[in-house]
Amino acid sequence: MNVDENSSNIVKLLRELNGNVENLSSKIDRMIELQASLTEILSPKKKPSYEGLPLDVATLLSLPDHLRKTALALSELGEATATEISKKTGRVRAAESDYLNQLVTKGYVAKKRKSHEVYFYIEV
């Protein structure tokens, strides 16, 4: 095989690869459209809105999933105890207490004591 045949074969393979990538891309686009349609059909009418949260999107995305879930629950409740957060997230109170205190340490959440209860809130 000479150099021209090798170049021709490489170009042919690259064109074939490009066609396969374009085909996959169009299939992925279609899957995304179907997912959006199904989500719209199956989701409840009222979706929680996280616009205007004291924690911005970049901050929320930088948090690990377990802390993000706690922060979002706290955002929805405004001010809450670890027990109230645990009811919202479905996790045990001790875990939520730990997660809330991690968020306090990171500076995203503040806490205050009212009588015997400790309330957590997001400072605006």
Q: What is the pLDDT along the chain (124 residues), one digit of tens a residue?
A: 677 788 888 888 888 888 888 888 888 888 887 777 777 666 655 545 455 456 777 777 888 888 989 998 998 888 999 999 999 999 999 999 999 999 999 888 999 999 899 999 987 7
How much is the pLDDT for 80?
A: 92
3-class DSSP assignment, residue 76: helix
Cβ–Cβ under 8 Å, residues 109 and 100: yes
How much is the pLDDT for 5?
A: 81
**Distance between CA atoms of 83 and 43, rounded to whole angstroms?**
27
Closest residue by Cα to residue 120 from 57, 92, 60, 86: 86
